[in-house]
C-alpha cells in the first residue's frame, strides 16, 4: 500500500523543470566540473581521450574552438584526419596520415634514414648522411618523388667522371649497375667479381688493393672479364732486381708486366702462388 | 484520512526508512580518480571525506598527486594517475557539534521569497569569442626556430654544415577579419663538399612558401587570399603568386577561382614565365552523431597549370574523405592530367596522374588497421646537377599495418608494405612484427622491439629496439638501436648498426630545444678492401624553437 502511495505521489508530482542548458553549449550535461574548475571557465580540462581522439603533443594546447569551430555542440562529429586542420603542403602526395612522418609534439619530421627503409630505396652506407634535398629537389611542392631507384639515375656523373682515367668505365666496357662493383659507403675501392677469373683479388696476397694500384694506364675498349686489358703495372710494387733474382731458374722469364700475369693469376687451382718469402710486404 | 494526508504520511515513512539506511552505511574509506587529463586528476571525494588543498595522495597502484582544490564532495589533484586509480582516505574529521537550527519560516514567507528570487534578473555567464577570431575560430600562432645540422662521413671530403632560420605565422589576426599567413625558411650552407647536386652555386637560400593576407569567415560570405598563396584546401594545387577568391557557405563549403604566377620549383623564385588558372570546390558536411556516415568532405579543382617542371597541363583533381561510424576513416584522391603544350585544341593523351587511397579502421576498441595505396602515374622530371635532367617518378606504393592492444600496456603490431618503381620495375616488399610496452613508469615510458624482413631488388632485414621516455610537456627522450642487413646493393652483404637519439625539452611555456643525432657504422665488408674508417656516418641536428 505504501509503495502504491509512493508511486501515486510520484505520478501526481508536477514534471521536473527542464534543466537549464548553459549558454554556449547544446545538449550537454550540466555537470560543469567535468570540464571547468572553480578557478575560472578557462582553461578547460576535459578528458579528450574518451572521444577516440586523444590530444597528443601540441594538440593539448589547442583551444577547443580551433577544432570545433563556432559550433556550440561539442558532441557534434568533427573530422579527425590531419588534413581537416593542417594544410597539405605536399600537394596530396602522402595522403592524410601525417602522423606517419610528423611528430605531434613539434610537427618536426620523424622520417629519417631508418624510416626510409620502408620505401623502394633503403638508405645504406653514405646515402644515410646526405641532406634530403640532394635527392629530393622540389622545394615548391615539397614532393619527395624521385626519378628512379636505379643507381645510374643519380650516379651517371660519377660514371662519366672516369673518362680519361685508367679505369675509364665506358672504354673498359663496365656496365651501369654500379652496385655490382661499388659499395654504398664509398665509390673508391670497388670490387669487380669478374677479376678473379683473370687475377684473384677476393683473396690471396693481392686482396684489398685498389684498381689504381695496378691499372695506371688507359685501357682501350675491352669486354670486362676477358683478361685482355694488359694494363696492370706489376712493376710498381715488384722491383725487377728482386724478381729477376728469384726467377733465375724460370725459363723465359722477363721482367715486364705482361709476363707476370701470364703465369701468376692466383686463381684457385690454376694460378701459381709464389713462396711466402717472395710476397710483397704492404 | 484525506488522500493528501496519506501521501504525506507515506512519503514521511519512506524518508525515514531511507534516512535510516543512509546512516547505517559506512562512508567509503577509499577514494578514486573519476577521470584524468594530462596534468590534472578529478577525485570522487572532497572535504566531507577529509581532503584539504595541498594534501599529498599516493595511489595504491602507482603514481601520486597533490590536492589542488576541494569542494564538499569532489576535488582536483595535480599529478600523474589514471581514471580508476584508488587511494586510501585519511581519517575523517571529527563530527561537528550539533547546533539547533532556527525554526523554518512560515509558508507564506517562503512563498514570498521564492517569488522574489524567480522574478530577479541575473546576468548569465556566457562564453564570448575573443574579438578578431580568425578562420573558424583560430586565433593564430607564430612559430620560429633556428637550427644547425651537420652531416659527416668518415673517409670523405668533410662535413656538411647548414644553419637555418624558419618562421611561420598561421592565421594571425590583422583586424577586420583579415588574417596573415607566412611560411619561410632562410638557409646557409657554411660548408659543403663536392659533389654538390642541389643548387651548388647558392650557399645561401631563401624559401617563401606562403606570404598571404586572407579573409575567410566561418559564418560564410566572400573569401579570398592574396599574395604568395598556398591555395586553401584546393587539392593538389601548387603555390602561386596571385589570388584565390571564392564564396563561402555556412558550414565550411566554398567555391571559387584562383590564378597567378607559379614560382620556380627548386628556388621558389618568382617567375612570370609560368602560371596557373583554375576553379575549385570545397564541401564538407557533418551528419548526426548516431548516423552511419558521420562526416564527409569533398574537394575538387580543375586548372590549367604551367610549371617549370611539368610544362603546360590541364589538370583535374578530386578528394573525398569520409568518416563512417566511429570505426572507419577513408579518403580517396584522384588526379588526371593532359599536356597542352600545343594548345587546348591538341590535348595530349589524358593520363591518370595519381590515385591515393587511405583508410584507418577500428573494428574493435583494441584493434586498429591502417592502410594506403598510392599510384603516381605522372612523370616528374628533376634536375640532377647542372644540365642533367632525369625523367621518371612513376611509382606505386602500398602499406598495411595492424595494431592490437592485447593488454592495457602491451601493443602488438604487424607492419607491411611494398613499393614499385614503374620506370625500372624495381620493387621492394617488407613485413614484420613490432611489440611495444606502452605504459611503463607510470605512463612515462614506451619500449618497442621490431623486426622487418625485406624482399625485392634490395632484400634484407632490419631490427630495432626503441625506448621513449617522456614527461608530458616538459621533456621527451628517445633512443633507438637499429641493425640493418642489405643484400644485392653491394658486391657483398652489408651489415650496419645504427644509434639514434632525440631529445625534446620544453624550456619554458613558449620555447623548446630539440637535439637529434644519428650514427651508423658498417659492420662488415669494408676491412678487406677499404680502410676500416670508410663506413661511419654521423648526423646531428639542433634546434631552438619558439611558439607564441
pLDDT of residue A281: 44
Residue B345's pLDDT band, with cuts at 50, 70 and 90, is low
Residue A276's pLDDT band, with cuts at 50, 70 and 90, is very low
Of A117-126, A153-162, B161-170, least confident by mean pLDDT is: A153-162
Q: Does B512 touch chain A (CB under 8 A)?
A: yes
Q: Which of B38, B81, B66 is nearest to B506 (CA)?
A: B38
Residue B276's pLDDT band, with cuts at 50, 70 and 90, is very high
Q: Which of A179, A196, A151 is nearest to B487 (CA)?
A: A179
> Which residue segment(s) compose the domain that B33 sits in?
27-89
What's the pLDDT tens digit per position in B409-468?
899 999 999 999 888 888 999 999 999 998 887 778 899 999 999 999 999 999 999 999
| Alpha-carbon span B532 to B485, nearest angstrom | 18
What's the pLDDT tens digit per position in B237-250?
999 999 999 998 87
Residue B532's pLDDT band, with cuts at 50, 70 and 90, is very low
Note the ipTM here. Answer: 0.74
- Asked if the structure places residue B58 within a domain, the reply is yes
What's the pLDDT tens digit per position in B137-155?
445 788 999 999 999 988 7
Q: What are phi and psi of B7, to 5 degrees?
A: -60, -45
Contact between B329 and B359 under an 8 Å Cβ cutoff? The reply is yes
Q: Give mean pLDDT, residues B106-115.
A: 90
Q: What are phi and psi of A100, to 5 degrees?
A: -70, -15
A116 vs chain B: nearest CA distance in angstroms? 12
**Chain B window 224-253: which residues touch A at a Cβ cutoff of 8 Å?**
230, 232-233, 235-239, 252
Kindly list the residues from chain B whose CB atom is less than 8 angstroms away from the CB atom of residue A184.
Answer: 489-490, 494
Cell numbers of A56, please? 597528443
Whole-angstrom CA distances from B41 to A245, B32, B303 are 92, 10, 53
Q: Please provide the average confidence, as pLDDT, over all residues in chain B.
A: 84
Higher pLDDT, B138 or B498: B498
A130 preceded by a cis bond (ω within 30 of 0)? no
Q: Which residues contact B23 (CB under 8 A, 6 or more apart)?
A: none
- Asked if the structure places residue B212 within a domain, the reply is no
Higher pLDDT, B531 or B307: B307
Q: What is the CATH number of the domain that holds B35?
A: 2.40.30.20
Contact B238 A91 (CB under 8 A): yes
pLDDT of residue B28: 55
- Asked if the structure places residue B345 within a domain, the reply is no
Q: Does B76 touch chain A (CB under 8 A)?
A: yes
Check whether B18 has a pLDDT greater than 60.
no
Give the orientation angle of helix A2-12 with respect to helix B3-24, to 10 degrees: 110
Q: Structurally, how many domains does chain B consist of?
A: 1
CA B129 to chain centre: 25
Strands (E), A13-154: none
pLDDT of residue B540: 96
- Picking from A63, A107, A111, A137 by the largest number of B CB atoms within 10 A of its own CB, the best residue to mutate is A137
Cell numbers of B134, please? 580568425
Q: What are phi and psi of A156, to 5 degrees?
A: -55, -40
Amino acid at each position: 500500500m505504501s509503495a502504491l502511495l509512493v508511486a501515486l505521489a510520484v505520478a501526481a508530482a508536477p514534471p521536473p523543470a527542464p534543466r537549464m542548458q548553459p549558454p554556449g553549449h547544446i545538449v550537454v550535461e550540466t555537470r560543469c566540473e567535468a570540464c571547468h574548475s572553480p578557478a575560472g571557465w578557462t582553461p578547460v580540462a576535459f578528458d579528450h581521450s574518451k572521444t577516440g581522439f586523444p590530444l597528443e603533443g601540441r594538440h593539448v594546447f589547442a583551444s577547443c574552438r580551433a577544432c570545433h569551430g563556432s559550433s556550440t555542440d561539442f558532441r557534434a562529429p568533427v573530422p579527425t584526419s590531419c588534413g581537416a586542420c593542417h594544410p597539405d603542403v605536399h600537394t596530396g602526395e602522402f595522403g592524410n596520415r601525417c602522423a606517419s612522418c610528423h611528430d605531434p609534439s613539434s610537427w618536426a619530421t620523424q622520417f629519417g634514414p631508418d624510416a626510409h627503409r620502408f620505401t623502394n630505396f633503403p638508405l645504406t652506407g653514405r646515402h644515410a648522411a646526405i641532406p634530403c634535398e640532394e635527392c629530393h629537389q622540389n622545394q615548391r611542392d615539397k614532393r619527395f618523388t624521385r626519378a628512379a631507384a636505379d643507381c645510374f639515375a643519380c650516379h651517371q656523373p660519377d660514371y662519366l667522371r672516369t673518362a680519361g682515367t685508367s679505369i675509364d668505365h665506358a672504354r673498359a666496357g663496365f656496365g651501369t649497375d654500379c652496385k655490382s662493383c661499388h659499395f654504398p659507403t664509398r665509390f673508391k675501392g670497388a670490387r669487380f667479381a669478374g677479376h678473379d677469373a683473370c687475377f684473384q683479388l677476393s683473396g690471396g696476397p693481392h686482396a684489398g688493393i685498389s684498381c689504381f694500384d695496378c691499372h695506371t694506364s688507359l685501357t682501350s675498349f675491352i669486354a670486362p672479364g676477358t683478361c685482355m686489358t694488359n694494363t696492370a703495372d706489376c712493376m710498381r710494387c715488384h722491383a725487377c732486381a728482386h724478381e729477376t733474382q728469384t726467377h733465375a731458374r724460370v725459363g723465359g722469364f722477363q721482367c715486364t708486366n705482361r709476363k707476370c700475369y701470364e703465369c701468376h693469376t692466383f686463381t684457385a687451382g690454376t694460378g701459381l702462388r709464389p713462396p711466402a718469402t717472395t710476397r710483397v710486404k704492404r | 484520512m484525506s488522500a493528501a494526508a496519506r501521501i504525506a504520511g507515506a512519503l514521511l515513512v519512506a524518508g525515514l526508512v531511507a534516512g535510516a539506511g543512509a546512516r547505517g552505511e559506512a562512508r567509503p574509506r577509499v577514494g578514486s580518480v573519476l577521470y584524468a587529463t594530462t596534468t590534472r586528476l578529478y577525485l570522487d571525494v572532497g572535504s566531507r571525506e577529509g581532503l584539504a588543498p595541498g594534501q599529498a595522495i599516493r595511489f595504491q597502484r602507482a603514481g601520486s598527486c597533490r590536492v589542488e582544490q576541494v569542494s564538499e564532495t569532489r576535488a582536483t589533484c595535480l599529478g600523474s594517475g589514471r581514471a580508476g586509480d584508488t587511494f586510501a582516505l585519511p581519517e575523517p574529521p571529527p563530527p561537528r557539534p550539533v547546533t539547533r537550527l532556527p525554526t523554518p519560516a512560515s509558508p507564506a514567507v517562503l512563498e514570498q521569497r521564492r517569488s522574489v528570487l524567480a522574478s530577479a534578473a541575473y546576468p548569465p555567464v556566457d562564453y564570448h569569442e575573443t574579438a578578431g577570431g580568425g578562420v573558424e575560430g583560430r586565433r593564430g600562432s607564430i612559430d620560429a626556430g633556428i637550427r644547425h645540422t651537420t652531416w659527416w662521413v668518415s673517409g670523405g671530403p668533410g662535413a656538411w654544415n647548414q644553419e637555418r632560420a624558419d618562421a611561420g605565422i598561421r592565421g594571425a589576426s590583422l583586424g577586420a577579419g583579415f588574417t596573415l599567413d607566412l611560411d619561410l625558411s632562410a638557409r646557409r650552407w657554411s660548408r659543403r663538399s663536392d659533389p654538390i647536386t642541389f643548387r651548388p652555386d647558392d650557399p645561401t637560400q631563401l624559401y617563401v612558401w606562403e606570404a598571404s593576407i586572407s579573409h575567410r569567415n566561418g559564418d560564410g560570405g566572400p573569401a579570398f587570399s592574396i599574395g604568395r598563396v598556398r591555395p586553401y584546401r584546393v587539392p593538389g594545387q601548387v603555390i602561386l603568386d596571385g589570388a584565390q577568391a571564392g564564396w563561402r557557405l555556412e558550414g565550411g563549403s566554398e567555391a571559387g577561382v584562383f590564378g597567378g604566377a607559379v614560382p620556380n620549383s627548386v628556388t621558389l623564385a618568382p617567375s612570370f614565365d609560368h602560371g596557373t588558372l583554375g576553379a575549385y570546390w570545397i564541401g564538407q558536411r557533418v551528419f548526426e552523431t548516431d548516423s552511419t556516415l558521420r562526416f564527409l568532405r569533398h574537394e575538387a579543382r580543375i586548372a590549367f597549370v604551367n610549371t617549370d617542371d611539368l610544362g603546360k597541363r590541364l589538370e583535374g583533381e578530386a578528394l573525398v574523405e569520409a568518416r563512417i561510424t566511429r570505426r572507419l576513416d577513408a579518403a580517396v584522391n584522384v588526379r588526371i592530367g593532359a599536356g597542352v603544350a600545343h594548345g587546348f585544341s591538341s590535348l595530349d593523351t589524358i593520363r591518370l596522374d595519381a590515385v591515393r587511397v587511405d583508410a584507418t579502421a577500428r573494428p574493435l576498441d583494441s584493434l586498429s588497421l591502417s592502410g594506403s595505396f598510392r599510384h603516381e602515374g605522372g612523370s616528374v622530371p628533376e634536375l640532377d646537377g647542372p644540365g642533367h635532367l632525369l625523367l621518371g617518378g612513376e611509382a606505386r606504393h602500398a602499406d598495411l599495418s595492424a595494431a592490437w592492444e592485447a593488454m592495457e600496456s602491451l601493443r602488438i603490431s604487424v607492419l607491411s608494405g611494398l613499393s614499385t618503381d614503374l620506370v625500372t620495375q624495381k620493387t621492394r616488399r617488407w613485413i614484420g612484427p613490432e611489440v611495444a610496452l606502452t605504459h611503463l613508469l607510470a605512463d612515462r615510458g614506451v619500449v618497442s622491439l621490431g623486426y622487418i624482413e625485406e624482399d625485392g631488388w634490395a632484400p634484407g632485414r632490419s631490427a630495432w629496439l626503441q625506448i621513449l621516455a617522456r614527461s608530458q610537456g616538459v621533456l621527451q627522450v628517445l633512443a633507438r638501436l637499429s641493425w640493418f642487413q642489405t643484400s644485392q646493393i653491394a658486391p657483398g652483404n652489408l651489415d650496419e648498426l645504427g644509434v639514434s637519439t632525440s631529445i625534446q625539452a620544453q624550456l619554458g611555456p613558449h620555447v623548446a630545444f630539440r637535439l637529434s643525432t644519428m650514427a651508423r657504422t658498417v659492420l662488415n665488408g669494408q676491412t678487406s678492401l677499404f680502410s676500416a674508417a670508410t663506413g661511419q656516418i654521423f648526423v646531428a641536428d639542433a634546434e631552438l624553437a619558439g611558439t607564441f
